[in-house]
Amino acid sequence: MTVIALDSATLDRADARQHPPTVPAPRTGRSTPTRPVAITSARAGADLEVAIPAYNEASRLPRTLERTVEFLRDQPWSSRVVVVDNGSSDDTAGVARAVARSADPRVPVEVVGCARPGKGAAVRRALLSSRSRFVGFFDADLATPVETLTTAMEHLERGAAAVIASRHTPGACFVETQPAGRRLGGAAFRLLTRNIVKGVHDTQCGFKFFERHAVTHALVNCRVTGFAFDVELLRCLQGSGFDIVELPVAWSHAGESSFHPLRDGVASFGAVLQMQRAAARWAS
Ligand SMILES: Nc1nc2c(ncn2[C@@H]2O[C@H](COP(=O)(O)OP(=O)(O)O)[C@@H](O)[C@H]2O)c(=O)[nH]1
Ligand SMILES: [Mg+2]
């Protein structure tokens, strides 16, 4: 396996070429977006870096960051947190910066932007610009308990390349269930992704951690910027020969969601159908 090391300056140049640093397109016509936050470069490394993609998360983010830092500062490994805001129309970046300024210095919190809209683009940006040994992300609603990191780190330290939370593997449970429509869509999505990501029961849970070189290797071939990016990333990891460990979790649906069933649902199914067509072309 070739290990690809991308320095932050290279990433910034590539990002700027692909996506000029303009105000990201708003995802909805709800309101005028705020100015994007500056892309910081060359973050220091740690044992673990947690990225939190955040879209209009000004109300949930302070509690999430507080809880995350509280947990991480008591762990035997060193950690950093990076919030990625791209296109929020509320004060997500301002709120995150305020928390960052007052956070426990043992767990630095940073805020970065991303020229391209979408959760996938935000996560990709954070992971590719990290210097930490292990990197990953979880959702700003803490639907997967932050304590899951303890088991995730045990697997990573034992040599796992990818450890992902799963709501559909034996031992998992729903503390708060999703609305019926999301459950139905989720079931259809799982059926569709079964042949793309082999042996994985849940590609969509927002909690995934990786050995950095492994995920960097996979991410350079990833293009999906929306909610279906996980499928492509997991497929690329498997394609490069990496195993994926699924951790059963006690998952809670958080009331609010930025996932728009029509807009994001159609885009996600479309992205997966494209991956299936590409896989079929390869097979023939
Ligand atoms: N940076 C960024 N984060 C996003 C975007 N869309 C969703 N997110 C984040 O992705 C995570 C999952 O979104 P959420 O609304 O909880 O969706 P759900 O769990 O699928 O219902 C949250 O942390 C969101 O703030 C986006 O376009 N950009
Ligand atoms: Mg959520």
Q: pLDDT 10s digit of each residue in the chain, 284 long?
A: 443 444 444 444 444 333 333 333 444 433 333 334 344 456 899 999 999 999 999 999 999 999 999 999 999 999 999 999 998 999 999 999 999 999 999 999 999 999 999 999 999 999 999 999 999 999 999 999 999 999 999 999 999 999 999 999 999 999 998 999 999 999 999 999 999 999 999 999 999 999 999 999 999 999 999 999 999 999 999 999 999 999 999 999 988 899 998 999 999 999 999 999 988 887 77
Q: Assess whether the C-beta atom of 53 lies below 6 angstroms from ligand 1.
A: yes
| Residue 257 Cβ < 6 Å to ligand 1 | yes
Tell which atom from ligand 1 comes closest to the C-alpha of 117: 27
Question: Tell me, what's the pLDDT at 188?
Answer: 96
Q: Which amino acid is at 90?
A: D
Ligand 1 contact via 86 beta carbon (within 6 Å): yes
Q: What separation in Å is there between the alpha carbon of 122 and the centre of ligand 1?
A: 10
pLDDT for position 4: 45
- Ligand 1 nearest-atom number relative to CA 138: 23
- CA–centroid distance, residue 36 to ligand 2 (Å): 23
| The total number of structural domains that make up the chain | 1
- pLDDT in the model for residue 42: 66
57 lines ligand 1 (CB under 6 A): yes
CATH code of the domain containing 279: 3.90.550.10
The predicted structure's pLDDT at residue 34: 37
Looking at the CA of 264, which ligand is closest? 1
Ligand 2 centroid – CA 141 distance (Å): 6
At residue 23, the pLDDT reads: 35
The preferred substitution site among 55, 59, 259, 268 for testing ligand 1, maximizing ligand atoms within 8 Å of CB, is 55
The whole domain housing 49 covers: 5-283
Ligand nearest to the CA of 143: 2
Distance from C-alpha of 112 to C-alpha of 82, rounded to nearest angstrom = 7
pLDDT of residue 97: 97
**Pocket probe mutation, ligand 1, options 28, 60, 91, 119, max atoms within 8 Å of Cβ:** 119
Tokens, residue 206: 């927002």
pTM above 0.75, yes or no: yes
Q: Is 121 in the pocket of ligand 1 (CB under 6 A)?
A: no
